[in-house]
Every structure is written in C-alpha cells, then in structure tokens.
Structure 1
Amino acid sequence: MHKLVNIDGVEPLDLEDVDPSLLPIGPELEPDRMRPSVWEYERGAENTFHRQAEQEELYVVLEGTLEVTIERDDERDVVELTVNDVLVVPPGAWRQLKAIEDSRVLVVGAPNVADDAITETEE
C-alpha cells in the first residue's frame, strides 16, 4: 500500500557536526528500493565533500539556490541549481552542495543502501 508524509511534519534528525539539517522522510515512507531525505541548508552551509559507493542520487531543489561541485575522472563541474531544478549524480562521483541562500532539497538515493557515503578522509 502507499505511504504519505508531509515534509513540514517530520522532525529533523540531530546529526552532530553535520550541515545541513536532515528531515528523515525515508523511515516515514519505508521505501524498498530508494532512500529519500530532505536536506535543509542555511545560506553558506555546505555538506561534506563525498561520494556514494553504490547509490546514484537525484536532487530536486524545493526552495532556494545551491551550487553543486561534481568531480569524476579528473573532470570538475560546478552547477548552480535553483527551484524545480533536478540533477542526477552517479555513484562514484564526488559531490558537495553549498547553499547560496537558505535552501531545501529532496535527495533520493537508489538503491536503498544505508551509510553509503564515503568522505575523503575515509578513502
């Protein structure tokens, strides 16, 4: 059967020393094949430069403007995303999101793999 959740009713997950804020919609929706979440960034906040081992990630900007840095195979690209922009980043590509203004982003990773992110210090 289907599941429905309103983002505004989801309590943020308290992650130590991590920007942005995470709204864990995945546990509310319980999907089998994807891992959705909503990240809320304050202006100037950025997440850790990282890559996913198995997941490709889909980013949908719900509010605000972000700058996304993507690196793969010695190529670096910086993309500006704003409301309603959608971006897919493949597994293995390094990425970092930085908020140009307060922003909210729907992030969907697939397959549904827990703790799939790898940071530079973990390489």
Structure 2
Amino acid sequence: MRHRVDVRKLGRPGGHRRSMMRNLAISLVMEERIVTTVTRAKELRRLVERLITRAKRGGVHDRRIVAARLNNKEATKKLFDELAPRYATRPGGYTRVVKAGNRPSDGAPTAVIELVQ
C-alpha cells in the first residue's frame, strides 16, 4: 500500500535522487526551460515552486535555505534578484509542464518544464 507516500523515488537511491533534483533545479532556474522525462518534471515542479515561494519572502533565513538546497551561488542569486520580483504578485503556479512525445532511444515519455512569464 502507498498510503501517505509523498515522494517519487525515480528508481534511484536517496543521495543520487537528491543530487539529480538539485542539478535539474539549477538548470531550470538558469535556463528557465529544460527537457526531461515527465516523471522527473512533475517531481521537479514541486521543488522549484517551493524554492520560488521562499525567494519571494526574501529574508536572510530564506536565502540560506535556498542556498543550501541549490548549492549554487549563481542560481540562488538569479532566483532572488530576477525570478522573485517577477512572481511577486503571482500566488503560485510558477512552472508549466508540457508533454513532448517519447524519447527516440528508449521511448521514455518526455516533457518540457518551463517557468511561466
């Protein structure tokens, strides 16, 4: 039974999964649009939307938490200086996931995840 199970394991051990999500989040913040599998995009959306909400608050504590989650100075700076003001009046829903067909190599369903304007 999967009652109250909240996280997708993505077929990876915990450390690898956290590292992969961190790298995907950094790429999304820096590029504002990436292509990945549908499952990864849906899990990444949860992480990035929480980080943007933290950045909107803008306190020192929030900055430290976001910096610890991303572990990348450039991405943290962009999140607080560019993205947080862009979404200041938006109450949520900062990302969009659009399905993009199957990957040619293994047939995995892919999706484009992007930050909305």
Structure with more strand by fraction: 1
Q: Which has the higher helix share?
A: 2
Q: Which has the greater radius of gyration?
A: 2
TM-score exceeds 0.5: no
